[in-house]
Amino acid sequence: MDFATFLIQCLNAVQYGLLLFLVASGLTLIFGIMGVINLAHGSFYMIGAYMAYALAPWVGATIGGGFFATLGFGLLLSIAFGYLLEWCFFSFLYEREHLQQVLMTYGLILVFEELRSLIVGDDVHGVSAPDWLTGSVPLGDVMTYPTYRLFISAVCIAVALGLYFVLARTRLGMMIRAGASNREMVQAMGINIKFLYRIVFAAGVAMAVLAGMIAAPVSSVYPNMGSQVLIISFVVVVIGGIGSVRGALLAALLVGLVDTFGKVFFPEAAGVLVYLLMATILVWKPEGLFKHG
Amino acid sequence: MNRRQTIALTAALCAGLLAMPATAQQKLKVGLMLPYTGTFAALGNAIENGFKLYVQEQGGRIGGREIEYFRVDDESDPSKATDNIGRLINRDKVDVVVGTVHSGVVMAMAKVARDSNTLLIVPNAGANALTGPMCAPNIFRSSFSNWQSAYAAGVVAAERGHKTAASITWKYAAGDEMASAFKEGFAKEGGKVVKELNLPFPGVEFQALLTEIASLKPDATFAFFAGGGAVKFVKDYAAAGLMKSVPLYGPGFLTDGTLEAQGAAAQGVLTTLHYADDLPNAKDKSFRLGYAKTYKLQPDVYAAQGYDAAQLLGAGLSGVNGDVSRRADMIKAMEVAKIDSPRGAFTLSRAHNPVHDIYLRKVEGNSNKYQKVAVKALADPATGCKM
């Protein structure tokens, strides 16, 4: 492998890692702060991708605007959807055992998949990226790099920075962090913890939906796309340390690197390398790279 | 023997006597074990439509017998396959089972069919082993083997002047079969596969492997993916700028039923399969017209395979005047049948797999346009078949 190829592979790794982070950050928020194992998180990603496909013509006809109008509209919908879902289902799960949480969220996966099948069907669909992002940047002598992938990375970095700012620098972030460490005490201080959780959950859903929507043009939309993403997101969350956004970012990049170079150097073992990484890190640091917070 | 038993026995005897003369007119029980839900639902429906279209064209009877259908949704789930086919055989007592799409499911079905000596006609699943080590007198296939389409892709790539190639596929049974058949066809015409790339099924993160292809600079790439993976691969391949510098080849599944989603990225991709759009034969034209009229849908390769499964069964039944109890004669009639398929007439190999022409197709707009015959009358080598 020459140096140029090596650099391109590094770019691939970072780009894949950032997209993983976007999905996993929502999962780690919900898991770490609210203590709910949300297996349906992959479904939110799937819903996002299908929204990018199914809403685009409707948004174009009624509201006007292209990809970004759809993105904005989809985000609003997903926040409302997350808020409602927390109210109807997840708010009953906080005091329950993990097994019951797993059962209910697994049930939700089945419901969402079946609804998807009824509403949109089982076919594979493509989503087109906005025109000004369809070009590509030449890299090396044979390969080009699609601009849209760079755009995805940019969005992921923006979300990461935004998340860091909100959690570490704002009053809302302070309340969220406090709620994660001691629910009763925060409530005793007069903060509406139920409302706070609802916001965190809606934000988590919105991030998964956003990931699905912006990934749709490169990944296309197809049945069961959420389940693949779910497993790798859990790996990221566990490696990074449950509830740690910083950890999720680092873990996502690490997984991206191992996956990318694993495929190139050890194609036979590519499927297990990421899990080996997880096992190794858990032996070394049982709570993940960053402890809660 | 008490009175109740006597009555029961007499009743049973009477029923038996009544049933006897009716045998000739009794409906033929056909078990359709196909995916009606899940990712392959569309394929299952197309196969059933094709099958019923042929029966309907024959006036609702094949080989003089009316047909009664028993449907089971196999959900493309290999772990339920044994139970599902058991239901058709033991509960519904079907005369013949037609199914299915998924190769893993079909292997379990073939095992049950062998053990229970049930007549099985496979209308899609391409696992080589089915007409290889698993071949049996009562197992037939109206579709293809994985080896056939990928081998032809290798021959075509070499004929078009490519000397080196990289192959890329998912690491699972069908992927391995496709990649090694391509290698065989390519090597036979003097080409060399320089690298065999693969990723775990059903992963879709191709970027690292595309970079690898770009740095290897082979003359051509052979890729096998299906469904969502095929869409993403073709789009990524085009976006990486490789389409022009390293032409892409594949078995037909890379661009079948996925063109709407692949859009501009797939234009010009060359694939090989036993079916194509705009085939220059009259049978295909009448088949497409009939199908479109009946179902208000355009047929695809799966519909054609279902249609041929019915033809194959019809040929067997005609040979014995609809009397399925003459199994050996019926199998003989199926073995020597010349099936007037929409894909072009074909016969069966010794291992009961179609010997058919493989076509070279080129993606133009939303169709896989027929270019030429890539390999004429290609027979699967049936490695491991003892029959």
Residue B92's CATH number: 3.40.50.2300
Confirm or reject contact between A12 and chain B (CB < 8 A).
yes
| Residue B264 resides in a domain | yes
Distance from CA of A17 to the nearest CA of B (A): 11
For A62-76, B9-23, B171-185, which range has the lowest pLDDT when averaged over its residues?
B9-23
A223 interfaces chain B, CB cutoff of 8 Å: yes
In a domain, B368, yes or no: no
Query: CB-based burial of residue B61 (10 Å sphere; 0-12 exposed, 13-18 middle, 19+ buried)?
Result: middle
Q: CB-based contact (8 Å) between B215 and chain A?
A: yes
Average pLDDT in chain A:
89
Residue A218 pLDDT more than 90?
no
Q: State the alpha helices, DSSP H only, in chain A.
A: 3-34, 41-62, 67-88, 98-119, 147-169, 171-181, 183-188, 193-219, 225-240, 245-265, 270-284
Q: Enumerate the residues of chain B whose CB falls inside 8 A of the CB of residue A218.
A: 232, 235-236, 239
Query: Are B38 and A223 inside 8 Å of each other by CB?
Result: yes
Categorize the per-residue pLDDT at B6 as very low, low, confident or very high, splitting at 50, 70 and 90: low
Q: Which two tokens stand for residue B119?
A: 């007549």
Question: Which chain A residues are closer than 8 Å to B37 by Cβ?
Answer: 117
Q: What is the pLDDT of residue B42?
A: 83
Question: Which of B218, B251, B273 is where one domain is finished?
Answer: B273
The yes-or-no verdict on residue B134 having pLDDT over 50 is yes
Task: Please state, as a whole number, how many other Cβ atoms lie within 10 Å of the Cβ of residue A48.
Answer: 31
Rounded to an integer, the average pLDDT of B144-148 is 96
Say if A233 is an interface residue toward chain B (CB within 8 Å). no
> Do residue B232 and residue A218 have CB atoms under 8 angstroms apart?
yes
DSSP letter assigned to residue B277: B
Do B82 and B227 lie in one domain? The reply is: no
Are residues B232 and B163 part of one domain? Answer: yes
Is the per-residue pLDDT at B18 higher than 50? Answer: no
| Strand blocks (E) in chain B | 28-34, 61-62, 65-73, 96-98, 119-122, 139-141, 164-171, 192-200, 220-224, 248-251, 270-273, 347-348, 354-364, 367-378
**A9-42 pLDDT, tens digit each:** 999 999 999 999 999 999 988 888 888 889 999 9
Query: Residue B197 and residue A267: Cβ atoms within 8 Å?
Result: yes
pLDDT-derived band of residue A242, with 50, 70 and 90 as boundaries? confident
Is B366 among the domain residues?
no
Residue B155 placed within a domain:
yes
Q: Residues A175-207: pLDDT tens digits?
A: 988 888 888 888 898 989 889 989 999 999 999
pLDDT of residue A77: 95
Report yes or no on B78 lying in a domain: yes
Where does a domain end: B273, B297, B320?
B273
Q: B364 pairs with which residues across the strands?
A: B367
CA angle centred on B43, ends B269 and B228, rounded to 5°: 50
Our count of domains for chain B comes to 2
Is some CB atom of chain B closer than 8 A to the CB atom of A97?
A: no
Same domain, B85 and B186: no
pLDDT band at A292 (very low <50, low <70, confident <90, very high): low
Using an 8 Å CB-CB cutoff, list chain B residues near A271.
171, 199-200, 203
- Residue B215 to residue A261, Cβ atoms within 8 A: no
Contact at 8 Å (CB) between A290 and A240? yes
* Same-domain status, B253 and B308: no
C-alpha dihedral over B183, B187, B189, B191, to 10 degrees? 90
Please check whether residues B133 and B169 belong to one and the same domain: no
For residue range B214-224, list pLDDT tens digits in order: 999 999 999 99
Note whether B194 contacts A: Cβ–Cβ < 8 A. no
Please indicate if any CB of chain A lies within 8 Å of the CB of B231.
yes
Measured CA to CA, the distance from residue A127 to residue A258 in angstroms comes to 29
Pair (B116, B127) in one structural domain: yes
pLDDT of residue B23: 47
Instruction: List, for residues A267-285, the tens digit of each pLDDT value.
Output: 778 778 999 999 999 999 9
Question: For B143, phi and psi rounded to 5 degrees?
Answer: -110, -90
Residue B13 has a pLDDT of 47
* Domain limit, last residue, from B221, B256, B273: B273
Which chain A residue is nearest to residue B246, measuring alpha carbons? A142
| Same domain assignment for residues B175 and B152 | yes
B217 vs A contacts (CB less than 8 Å): 142
The reply to whether B56 falls in a domain is yes
Domain shared by B330 and B316, yes or no: yes
- Give the rounded percent of residues in chain A with a pLDDT score beyond 70: 99
Residue of A nearest to B204 (CA): A219
Interchain pair A264, B171: CB under 8 A: no
Domain housing B159: 147-273
Residue B3 pLDDT level (bands cut at 50, 70, 90) = low
Same domain (yes/no): B134, B177:
no
Query: Cα angle at A211 between B232 and A158, to 5 degrees?
Result: 125
Model-wide pTM > 0.90: no
- Average pLDDT along chain B: 91
Q: pLDDT digits over B287-344, tens only?
A: 999 999 999 988 999 999 999 999 999 999 999 999 999 999 999 999 999 999 999 9
Q: Phi, psi at residue B33, to the nearest 5°?
A: -110, 100
Report which of A121, A111, A118 is spatially closest to residue A39, judged by C-alpha positions.
A111
Give CA–CA dist A28/A237, Å, rounded.
Answer: 6
Q: Is residue B328 part of a domain?
A: yes
Beta bridge partners of B171: B200
Whether B383 is covered by a domain: the verdict is no
Under the banding of pLDDT at 50, 70 and 90, the label for residue B17 is: very low
* pLDDT value, residue B227: 79
**Max CA pair span of chain B:** 88
Q: Residue B255: pLDDT band by 50, 70, 90 thresholds?
A: very high
Question: B97 and B31: one domain?
Answer: yes
Residues B151 and B269 in one domain: yes
Task: Judge if B213 and B233 occupy the same domain.
Answer: yes
